[in-house]
Each structure stands twice: as structure tokens, then as C-alpha cells.
Chains A and B, each alone.
Chain A
Amino acid sequence: MTKQEALGKYLLRLADTNLILGQRLAEWCGTGPFLEEDLAMTNISLDLFGTAEALLKYACEVEGKGRTADELTFRRPEREFTNILLVEQPNVDFGATILRQLFVDAFDYYHYSELSKSSDPIIAGVAAKASKETTYHLRHSESWVIRLGDGTEESHQRMQNALNELWRFTDEQFEMNEVDAMLIEERIAVDLAPIKAKWLEKVIPVLSEATLQIPENTFMQRGGREGKHSEHFGFLLAEMHYIPRAYPDATW
């Protein structure tokens, strides 16, 4: 693998995680629990799409085959997406959506802050912008997880159910392979081990304040890096790809 190929894979991986979570959050458009949260979730969705677009454009440039960000978004089959499994998990209810968001926001918060020092100026720039956005996203998801976890009997139970379901997808965020090894050496990518330590330091007290119990002996799920997805992903793509498949000549 050349450095250029590694960079291409790295950019796609980052972009896909943003893109797919953006798509999941967009599913709340018009169906949020109330107007303010409906807007909050679609706002966050748009932030994620913005980050994804910037990364996809750069990925196209690195790839050098003349593909566009739209083609990468709408013309790739399931196995070519390398997002983490966590972000493709269904919304279920507002509680599960906001817990999933806390896990990603806390990761993004520490990750982008490090990545903004990347030796690659485009990655550093995208990370610096996303870092500001994520600071707000984290504040939002953190306060909701505490409010709902330490809320009514029903809200607590829903949050606990969500945690039991989603905890097994959290470790994949910190997975590294030869792509990371190569790019860390070039100071383009960042080592995710220290990010994991910070993430745990952030997330565990929030869950504890929310009176939630982290499930024990969880078998951590993985596979996104190799394009192996959960059963939910195909349905998500089918919806996301519907318009460009039905109307191949459609433009923005």
C-alpha cells in the first residue's frame, strides 16, 4: 500500500462515519420529539454532512480518478463503505439516538482536537472546523444523556436499554490498522490509544451521573473498517440512494 492509497482509505473512513451518522440523524427530520430537538438533530446532521463532504472531496482528489463526492456518496455499494458500525445502528428512540451521539461526539471532540495538528493541511483545516462544531454537539448530547438517564423511570429504562445495546459498538472507534500505522508515522493521522483513554474518562462519569450501568463482559463488535456491516446498513443505503437511482440525471 502506498502512502496515497492509505490516505485515500483514511479519508473515506472518516468521511463515511460522518456521512452515515448524518443520514441517521436526518431521519429525525420532521419527526423529532418536539420542534427544538427536531432542529437540533438536523443541525448536527448538517454539520456532519459538511465534514463528510469536505473529506470526500479531498478523497476524490487523492484518488485522482475523476470521481466526485456525490459519486462516492451515492454510487458505492455497501461493502465499499468503511464507517464504524455504531453510526449505522437504528435510531430506535430519542434516548438511543442521543446516547449513540454522546459516544461519537466524545470521540470526535478529542480526535478532531488532535487531528487539527495533522501535518496534512487539508485534514488539519477540516478537523479544526469540525472541532468547534463538535464542542457544541458534545454539550448537547451529554446534557441529554444525564437528563434522561437520571430522569423518570421510563426514560431511565430506555437509556439503560440503549446502553446495553450500543456499548458493544463503542470500541471500534479506536481500532487501528496498517493505514493508521503508515499515516501516524507521517504525522497525518493520530494515535487513537490516548484518545480512548480520554474518551473513557469523559464518558464513564457522564453515564454514572446518568445513573446508567455499563454492561459487563461485552463482546465488542467490529468490521466497519473492512466494509462488513450490520444488517441495518443495507436499508439505510437503500433509502439514501433511492433518489439518484430513480432519477440518475437529477442534479442539486
Chain B
Amino acid sequence: MTTFQQVLTVLIAGAATVLTRFLPFFAFRNGAPRYIRYLGNVLPGAIFGMLVVYCLKDVDVLAGAHGAPEALGILVTGGVYLWRRDMLWAILAGTLSYMLLVNLVW
């Protein structure tokens, strides 16, 4: 993308965000339809699952390190989160261990 296209992309993402924040104040003043409420309850798990896959989309399990640094990084992140229940420590520990692995081991 050119810088102009990047700025445009950010503005489009901003418009999508603003839409989700303002819409209820215009469209759902008397409550949302049942199907929309169902989606609101059911979707978050699926969306964050999708985003995890999105983060791993360029990992090649057939070549290079076969995804080992990513797998170990996820284990450290998940393990620290289960242990401390603290999001920031988990992200810090997972990212640092991944950085050590890709810079020093693989």
C-alpha cells in the first residue's frame, strides 16, 4: 500500500469501529432483535479463535522451524496466563520467549 492507502485503510477501520459504537444509540433504542443478541453471545469465542489463526497464517509447518517457536511461544503465553491470570505478564513472557527462540535458537 502507498501511505495514502494506509491512511485510508485506518480511516475505514475507524469508520467500522465508530459504526459499532454509535449504532445502538440510533438503531436499537428499543432493544436488539433476538438473532442479533444470540450472535452477540455466541460470536466472541469464534472471533478470537479466528484471530489466533490469523496470527499464525504465515507459519510454515513444513519448512524452517516447522512452527516450533510459535508453538512454544503459545505454550509459554498460555501457561503464564493460567498461572498468574495476568494478561500483561502472559504477553510479555510469551513474546520475550518467542523473540529469544527466533533470534538465538532458530
* A and B held together in a complex: no
Binding site for B on A (CB under 8 A): none
